[in-house]
């Protein structure tokens, strides 16, 4: 009987791995091959066939740092390929080689680290290549003190899986087990995570399991990684439920377990799970949940699975005992869209489904704006209610990589709306009953754009990317588009850190710090209970009232997105203003906080005011 491959949460079995004694083993899924050889320098090591299309060799010698390739004999053709599960990649004379990297060599200092509860996450999303001048993991480490002082409790890295060239958002990766070499590769990633934990900051890693990049993609030589049964915006769908799908599912589960176990990542953000097409009885995400939970039982550390989903279907975030898939949380684009329209965003493209403060109130009250009603943009009824899901299962933002980069020129909010509206939008996110996410630089009103960029080699592919971007923005502005391939487009996205200490940017930074401090220090704001709140649009004004309460306190959060001051009649009780975004110290025009007079307050244009009461 042939030897079998089996997932084991305790160790990474797929690809090349080392024992504590330094001996190596290698497992490869290549059901298309009739013969497989592992080439290490001048040595050719034949692999043995195992059940299910796997090949293996165990207990052999290879030095850490050596390069190796896989020789596939498929029908009458011989192909030299890198290991699909490589932990490091080297390009030499135009050819790709795998590097023998051992993640177990790193000596961790975070043995007592457990990480914050998901409800305590205040997420800072960043792109490694543009966050710092260095464009590396070490470049982030040098600013961890800044992020801790800001109040950030979790950093979310855009995808770091090895991609072609040195410039990419990360969603064109083809080696999901290898940390991008231009960022510092695997050992530098481990040091970065260790340093984050030393600063009491969790790490969320954005992973892409719904597609692979188009360049250096040799996966089809190994096996049926793709299926023609479905199509995605990126072409062929990854095979999660067609013939041969077991090997594909194991590939991604091994990947997730590796990030948690060997790199001490705290949470994964799974990109666009609506493009994971799976009609199996047990969805891939359910199987992933089971395996991650098995790892958590071994390590004693909870690992979170966060999804990006365009489905408005809470079954994905409901636990298995309620018939759900068991994901911990999801991004909510609808909150963003409603907020942006409230702040004056034109109702073009997908914004056409959102009316502004009316829908923003729905987002606060119901999480999903569309819960089964007709969507004009989609041309059908869409969504379902998410009544019983707590606020800790929803991540909201006024900006993120998609929503900035989805603009043709990658303009940030600082280049689109006034400073007053930026402060209102920040308050709308950070004082919400959901998990807030900031996009790098927004806290000091960074002016540099974040356009889309790549560094492909193939001329036809480069032109295809350019023409695809032009077509994508036909409903938006008609102006010259930055060339995604040009190095200047990438360089234009680098943060200008000098701004953070210069007025008025330093005042915006102080305001963000105050908002985050208020969220952490106020019991009502740190409690993500969605049942004790009510949001309502204010008639005849572009404004919204968000009420939050418990047995001891009530908060009234008044947001005025409009161009005119708004008188607002308050209820009974002695209230105190604890935040006024119009103060000079935050970059506003007022030296004194607006006062409550005869149970009425004037909410200035483009401002947010927070009032506290001792009881309901």
Listing DSSP states for 100-122 in one string gives ---GGG---S-TT-----GGG--
- CA pair distance 207, 271, nearest whole angstrom: 6
Within 8 A by CB and 6+ apart from 93, the residues are none
Task: Please state, in angstroms and rounded to a whole number, the distance separating the CA atoms of residues 426 and 579.
Answer: 13
Q: Which two tokens stand for residue 444?
A: 């000091």
111 annotated ligand-binding residue: no
Whole-angstrom distance, CA of residue 433 vs CA of residue 393: 10
Of the candidates 16, 217, 12, 170, which has an alpha carbon nearest to the alpha carbon of residue 99?
Answer: 16
pLDDT of residue 429: 98
In what helix (H) or strand (E) does residue 522 lie, and over which residues does it extend? Answer: none
313 is in an annotated binding site: no
204 is known to lie in a ligand binding site: no
Asked if 490 and 130 touch (Cβ cutoff 8 Å), the reply is yes
Residue closest to 427 by CA, chosen among 303, 559, 520: 559
Determine if residue 274 is labeled as part of a ligand binding site: yes
Q: Are 552 and 614 in contact (CB under 8 A)?
A: yes
DSSP reduced 3-state for 95 = strand
| C-beta of residue 306 within 8 angstroms of C-beta of residue 327 | yes
- Tell me whether residue 404 is annotated as binding: yes
* pTM across the whole model: 0.96
Task: Report the number of secondary-structure helices (H) and strands (E) in the chain.
Answer: 15, 31
Q: Is the CB of residue 196 less than 8 Å from the CB of residue 270? A: no
- Tokens standing for residue 102: 């051992």
**Residue 235 β-bridge partners:** 232
Residue 412 in marked binding region: no
The reply to whether domains 15-102 and 532-613 share a CATH topology is yes
248, 279, 282, 292 from 242: Cα distances, Å = 10, 9, 13, 23
The reported pLDDT for the residue numbered 478 is 54
DSSP line for 264-332: ---EEEETTGGG----SSS-HHHHHHHHHHHHHHHHS---EEEEE-SS--GGGTS-GGGT-----EEE-
The answer to whether residues 557 and 431 touch, using CB atoms and an 8 Å cutoff, is: yes
Active site positions, annotated: 271, 308
3-state secondary structure 24-45: EEEEEECCCCCEEEEEECCEEE
246 is annotated as contributing to ligand binding: no
* Torsion angles phi and psi, residue 69, rounded to 5: -135, 165
pLDDT beneath 50, residues of the chain: none
Chain centroid, CA 538 distance in Å: 33
Q: Which two tokens stand for residue 576?
A: 């105190």
Instruction: Please name the CATH architecture into which domain 532-613 falls.
Output: Sandwich (2.60)
- Give the closest residue to 561 by CA, choosing from 511, 603, 509, 510: 603
- All structural domains of the chain with their residue ranges: 15-102, 118-519, 532-613
CB atoms within 10 A of CB 460: 8
Contact 64, 106 (CB under 8 A): no
Separation of alpha carbons 189 and 101, rounded Å:
13
For residue 455, what are its two tokens?
């560094």
| Interstrand relation of 554-560 and 543-549 (parallel, antiparallel or unpaired) | antiparallel
Q: CATH number of 118-519: 1.10.1740.10, 3.30.420.10, 3.20.20.80, 3.40.190.10?
A: 3.20.20.80
E strand or H helix that includes residue 96? strand 95-99
Q: How many residues make up the chain in this entry?
A: 616
The closest alpha carbon to 416, from 351, 463, 330, 359, belongs to: 351
Quickly tell me which residue has 């929803």 as its tokens.
394
CATH architecture of the region 15-102: Sandwich (2.60)
Q: Are 296 and 302 in contact (CB under 8 A)?
A: yes
pLDDT score, position 230: 92
272 is in an annotated binding site: yes
Non-local (6+) Cβ contacts of 138 within 8 A are 184, 188, 191, 192
CB 178 within 8 A of CB 131: no
């Amino acid at each position: 009987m042939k030897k079998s491959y089996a997932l084991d949460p305790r160790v990474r079995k797929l690809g090349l791995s080392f024992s504590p004694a330094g001996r190596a083993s290698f497992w490869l899924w290549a059901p298309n091959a009739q013969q497989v050889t592992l080439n290490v320098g001048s040595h050719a090591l034949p692999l043995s066939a195992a059940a299910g299309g796997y090949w293996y060799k165990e207990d052999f010698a290879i030095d850490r740092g050596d390069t190796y390739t896989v020789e596939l004999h498929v029908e009458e053709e011989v192909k030299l390929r890198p290991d699909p599960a490589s932990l490091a990649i080297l390009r030499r004379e135009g050819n790709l080689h795998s590097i023998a990297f051992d993640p177990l060599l790193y000596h961790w200092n975070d043995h007592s680290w457990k990480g914050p509860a998901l409800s305590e996450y205040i997420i800072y999303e960043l792109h490694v290549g543009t966050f710092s001048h260095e464009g590396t993991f070490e470049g982030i480490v040098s600013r961890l003190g800044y992020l801790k002082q800001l109040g950030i409790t979790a950093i979310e890295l855009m995808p770091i899986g090895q991609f072609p060239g040195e410039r990419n958002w990360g969603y064109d990766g083809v080696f999901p087990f290898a940390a991008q070499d231009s960022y510092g590769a695997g050992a530098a990633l481990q040091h970065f995570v260790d340093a984050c934990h030393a600063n009491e900051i969790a790490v969320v890693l954005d992973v892409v399991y719904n597609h692979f990049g188009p360049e250096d993609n040799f996966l089809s030589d190994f096996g049926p990684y793709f299926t023609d049964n479905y199509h995605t915006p990126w072409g062929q769908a990854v095979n999660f439920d067609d013939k041969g799908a077991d090997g594909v599912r194991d590939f991604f589960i091994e990947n997730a377990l590796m990030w948690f176990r060997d790199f001490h990542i705290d949470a994964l953000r799974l990109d666009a799970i609506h493009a994971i097409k799976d009609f199996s009885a047990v969805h891939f995400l359910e199987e992933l949940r089971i395996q991650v939970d098995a790892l958590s039982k071994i390590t004693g550390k909870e690992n979170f699975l966060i999804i990006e989903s365009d489905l408005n279907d809470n079954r994905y975030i409901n636990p298995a005992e309620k018939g759900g898939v068991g994901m911990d949380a999801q991004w909510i684009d609808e909150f963003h869209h409603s907020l942006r329209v409230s702040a004056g965003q034109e109702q073009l493209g997908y914004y056409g489904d959102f009316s502004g403060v009316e829908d923003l109130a729905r987002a606060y009250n119901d999480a999903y704006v569309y819960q089964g009603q007709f969507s004009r943009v989609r041309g059908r009824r869409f969504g379902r209610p998410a009544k019983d899901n707590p606020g800790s299962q929803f991540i909201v933002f006024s900006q993120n990589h998609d929503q900035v980069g989805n603009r043709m020129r990658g303009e940030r909010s600082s280049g689109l709306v006034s400073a007053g509206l930026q402060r209102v939008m920040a308050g709308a996110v950070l004082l919400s009953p959901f998990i807030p996410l900031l996009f790098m630089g927004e806290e000091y009103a960074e002016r540099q754009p974040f356009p889309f960029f790549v560094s492909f080699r193939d001329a036809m592919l480069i032109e295809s990317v350019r023409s695809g971007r032009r077509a994508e923005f036909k409903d938006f502005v008609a102006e010259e588009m930055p060339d995604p391939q040009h190095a200047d487009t990438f360089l234009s996205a680098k943060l200008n850190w000098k701004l953070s200490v210069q007025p008025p940017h330093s005042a915006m930074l102080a305001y963000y710090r105050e908002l985050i401090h208020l969220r952490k220090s106020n019991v009502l704001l740190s409690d993500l209970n969605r049942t004790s709140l009510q949001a309502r649009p204010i008639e005849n004004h572009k404004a919204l009232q968000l009420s939050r309460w418990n047995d001891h306190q009530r908060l009234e959060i008044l947001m005025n997105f409009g161009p005119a001051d708004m008188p607002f009649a308050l209820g009974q009780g002695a209230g105190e203003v604890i935040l006024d975004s119009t103060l000079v110290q935050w970059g506003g025009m007022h030296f004194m906080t607006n006062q409550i007079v005869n149970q009425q307050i004037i909410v200035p244009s483009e401002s947010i005011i927070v009032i506290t009461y001792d009881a309901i």
